[in-house]
Amino acid sequence: MHPPTEYIMTQALFNQLCHVSAFNAMNGKTYQEHVLIIAGNRIPKELHESIRNAESGDAALNILTTNKIIWTHTYT
């Protein structure tokens, strides 16, 4: 059985939606925060600070990949 895959929107989409009223209140002020809101329950607590402080969205996603946390930008 494969572990569950978590959909995480692209950073480009996140950046576009940041201009929508109340989006950031529910989805995070930064893409790194968004990753933790969406997939935080599957990310070990000891990685949260590294993700929150990642230099970029790509760096945050790389932390997931490096730690074998499966995610996708494809919504199904």
Per-residue pLDDT tens over the stretch 14-68: 999 999 989 999 999 999 999 999 999 999 999 999 999 999 999 999 999 999 9
- Distance of alpha carbon 49 from its chain centroid, rounded? 13
- Quote the radius of gyration of the chain (alpha carbons, Å): 12
Which candidate, 25, 1, 2, 27, places its Cα nearest to that of 14?
A: 27
Number of residues written out for the chain: 76
For the chain, counts of helices (H) and of strands (E): 5, 2
SS3 75: coil
pTM for the model stands at 0.89
pLDDT given at position 3: 59
